[in-house]
Structure 1
Amino acid sequence: MTDFVKLLTRKNSLRKQCQALAGSDIEKAIADLTEILEEKLEQENALLVEERERLEKIEAIKQSMLEAGVDLNDLMTLVDTPVKKKVAPKYQVTDANGELHQWSGRGRTPAAFQAAFTAGKTKEDCLI
């Protein structure tokens, strides 16, 4: 919270700051704040109206689907959901137990590869 907001929201702090002001200056500040409040309330009301309209549209779509005998799951099977493509492995190494490990070269270096690199292998030695 900024100092200005703290000042405005704490009555005693505001009273202290207003002691040096003339009555007309306080009236001007009140008028400005009232105008700002009205603008803010109009914005909030507009957002509420938009949200209410959106919900009404959703309800109308749900009703149309119900009347048509269409289930939401039916539609979901038709939607292409973006699937994160798995990156093909670029490196592979066999550990001391004979287990094969593959790595794309992205992200944190897996322990099996780190052990191989510590033992003297390079990334180029592990290329598939």
Structure 2
Amino acid sequence: MSDFLDILTHGRRFKAAVKELSLIELKETAEKLNKIIDDREQQLQAEQAANAERNARIADILAQIEDSGLSIEDLGDLAAVKPAPKKRAPRPAKYEITVDGEHITWTGQGRMPTVFKKEVDSGKSMDDFLIPGMK
């Protein structure tokens, strides 16, 4: 817990921390704190109402399932099966270079390979390594 919260939640420490405030400043602080409390209560009530509505819908669906002569176990196999996510095809190489007989390609995505970086640092352009037909 932060020091601020330690002070705020401890009676004597809080009293010592606010002793320099005037009565008007204390009342303004109390109003701000009450506003925060009211907002938090409204948020909690909204969440509880949403959960109650959700639970009522679930109960309705379960009742419909039971009325149709099915059980949750009958749906278990359907609910557990999810289609495998499709993998995208790898990007085609956009740049190529041959160093010491080794052919190195790069898609232009991600970190630039060291061999390309050395060549660019020595004054060459990436267009020099562009694979014909790639742009």
TM-score calculated relative to the size of structure 1:
0.61
Amino acid at match of 2:25: D
Q: Which residue of 2 aligns with 1:21?
A: 21
Q: Using the alignment, how far apart are the partners of 1:79 and 1:30 within structure 2?
A: 51
Q: Which residue of 1 aligns with 2:61?
A: 61
Amino acid at match of 2:34: T
Q: Using the alignment, how far apart are the partners of 1:79 and 1:14 within structure 2?
A: 53
CA positional deviation for 1:5: 0.9
Amino acid at match of 2:29: A
3-state SS of 2:70 partner: coil
CA positional deviation for 1:76: 1.4
Q: Using the alignment, how far apart are the partners of 2:62 and 2:80 within structure 1?
A: 21
3-state SS of 2:81 partner: coil
Q: Which residue of 2 aligns with 1:4?
A: 4
3-state SS of 2:78 partner: coil
Q: Which residue of 1 aligns with 2:76?
A: 76
Q: Using the alignment, how far apart are the partners of 1:75 and 1:44 within structure 2?
A: 33
Cα deviation code 1:9-58 (max 9, x no counterpart): 11100100111110000000000000011001111111111111111111
Amino acid at match of 2:46: A
Q: Which runs of 5+ in 1 are unaligned?
A: 85-128
Query: Are residues 1:34 and 2:20 paired?
Result: no
Q: Using the alignment, how far apart are the partners of 2:64 and 2:3 within structure 1?
A: 53
Q: Which moved more, 1:72-81 or 1:29-38?
A: 72-81
Q: Using the alignment, how far apart are the partners of 2:56 and 2:25 within structure 1?
A: 47
Q: Which residue of 1 aligns with 2:45?
A: 45
Q: CA RMSD for the aligned pairs?
A: 1.7
Amino acid at match of 1:36: I
TM-score calculated relative to the size of structure 2:
0.58
Q: Which runs of 5+ in 2 are unaligned?
A: 85-135
Q: Using the alignment, how far apart are the partners of 1:6 and 1:30 within structure 2?
A: 18
3-state SS of 1:19 partner: coil
CA positional deviation for 1:79: 3.2
Q: Using the alignment, how far apart are the partners of 1:18 and 1:10 within structure 2?
A: 12
Q: What is the percentage of aligned positions where both structures have the same residue? A: 21
